[in-house]
A = this chain, B = another copy of it.
Amino acid sequence: MDVRKRVGTNLRRLRSETGLSQERFALEHGFDRTYISGIERGARNPTIQVVQRIAEALEIDVMELFARPAE
């Protein structure tokens, strides 16, 4: 499994669990909505600093975004 899919899947699940839409999550944490969308779909190849910023927004350790998602 590609790491982009991995991070994207984890982000989508964790972001959903906060109860926020992509739009509100992006707005409240200073991201562009379409950029978050692209990462969740695995269409983007973000740098580790971007992933770090997302982890901070989710209030989790960056490592969690790289966990292998359950099938």
* Cross-chain contact B48 with A46 (CB below 8 angstroms): yes
Overall SS of chain A's interface: helix
Alpha-carbon distance between A68 and B62 when the two chains are bound, in angstroms = 9
A4 CA / B53 CA spacing, docked (Å): 12
Q: How many identical chains are in the complex?
A: 2
Residue in chain B with minimal CB distance to A48: B3
Q: Please tell me the number of chain A residues within 8 Å of chain B, measured between CB atoms.
A: 18
Q: Are B47 and A46 touching (Cβ within 8 A)? A: yes
CB–CB A47/B49 < 8 A = no
Give the nearest-CB partner of A66 in chain B.
B63
Residues of chain B with a CB closer than 8 A to A51's CB? 3, 48
- The reply to whether B45 and A45 contact each other, CB–CB distance below 8 Å, is no
